[in-house]
């Protein structure tokens, strides 16, 4: 027999957004209490989500947020980037990224004589792009956050995978034909990833 239960019946309790003022900044936070052992903190789009069990005192939660305030404020402050620059307004990456990436794919496909079978876009937190065994390339909508030279690097990187399905020397040699400073581009990308 199955029965419908509420989140409270499951031992999950939510307290909607509260606000914590830190100097001139305000951090909004939401507490989700569930039967877990540790306290977890995750920065969402414009607030902090705290997950913990019902025995954790709210004052302790506030102190926990204060302890990590620099990292939280940094993450909350860096949500909107466009072409390598921090911007105040929210960016429609779904609209802007294809307009930037598709002309670059067309340009470098001709230069490299490597044409993808299909191009698509999706949001991804861990990859800027990928190339399938059938030469279908998926680009991350968040690519528009990067400076143009790094977007070019990602495009060239994925096009090179049409010829080389690995990251061994022949692959990097292929990338270096177009980008002799590929090592510097990789370093710059890793550095920029930490900022955004």
Rg of the Cα atoms in the chain: 22
Our count of domains for the chain comes to 2
CA-based torsion, 95, 127, 150, 86: positive or negative: positive
Q: Are strands 81-82 and 85-86 parallel, antiparallel or unpaired?
A: antiparallel
Of residues 12 and 148, more confidence is placed in: 148
φ and ψ of 80, to 5 deg: -110, 105
83: helix, strand or coil: coil
Domain boundary among 58, 77, 96: 77
Does residue 173 lie within any of the structural domains? yes
Flag whether 35 is in a domain: yes
- Going by pLDDT thresholds of 50, 70 and 90, the confidence category of residue 44 is confident
What was the pLDDT predicted at 43?
83
d(CA 101, CA 93): 11
**Which of the listed residues 77, 110, 133 is the one where a domain comes to its end?**
77
Nearest to 156 by CA among 116, 196, 99: 116
- The answer on 179 and 90 residing in a single domain is yes
38: nearest Cα among 52, 24, 49: 52
Same domain, 70 and 106: no
Instruction: Give the C-alpha separation, 134 to 152, whole Å.
Output: 22
Q: Are 55 and 89 in a shared domain? A: no
107-161: pLDDT as tens digits: 999 999 999 999 999 998 889 999 999 999 999 999 999 999 999 999 999 999 9
Sign for the CA dihedral angle at 137, 96, 152, 104 comes to positive
Query: Same structural domain for residues 101 and 169?
Result: yes
Other CB atoms within 10 Å distance of the CB of residue 138: 18
Q: Give the pLDDT confidence score for residue 19 in this predicted structure.
A: 73
Measured CA to CA, the distance from residue 77 to residue 60 in angstroms comes to 24
141 and 105 share one domain: yes
pLDDT interval class at 14 (50, 70, 90): low
Residues spanned by the domain of 22? 13-77
User: 8 in a domain, yes or no?
Assistant: no
Global pTM reads 0.65
Instruction: Classify burial at 137, counting beta carbons within 10 Å of its beta carbon; exposed 0-12, middle 13-18, buried 19 or more.
Output: buried
- Which of 61, 77, 93 lies at the terminal end of a domain, its last residue? 77
């Amino acid at each position: 027999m199955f029965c419908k239960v509420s989140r409270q019946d499951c031992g999950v309790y939510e307290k909607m957004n509260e606000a914590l003022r830190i100097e001139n900044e305000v951090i909004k936070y939401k507490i989700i209490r569930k039967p877990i052992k540790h306290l977890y903190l995750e920065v969402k789009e414009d607030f902090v989500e705290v997950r913990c069990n019902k025995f954790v005192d709210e004052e302790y939660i506030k102190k926990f947020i204060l302890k990590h305030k620099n990292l939280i404020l940094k993450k909350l402050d860096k949500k909107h980037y466009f072409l390598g620059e921090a911007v105040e307004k929210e960016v429609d990456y779904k609209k802007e990224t294809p307009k930037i990436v598709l002309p670059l794919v067309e340009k470098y496909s001709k230069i490299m004589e490597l044409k993808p079978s299909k191009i698509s876009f999706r949001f991804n937190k861990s990859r800027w792009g990928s190339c399938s065994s059938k030469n279908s390339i998926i680009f991350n909508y968040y690519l528009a956050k990067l400076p143009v030279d790094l977007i070019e690097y990602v495009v060239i990187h994925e096009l090179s995978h049409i010829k080389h399905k690995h990251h061994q020397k022949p692959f990097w040699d292929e990338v270096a034909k177009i980008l002799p400073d590929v090592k510097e581009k990789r370093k710059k990308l890793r550095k920029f990833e930490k900022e955004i």
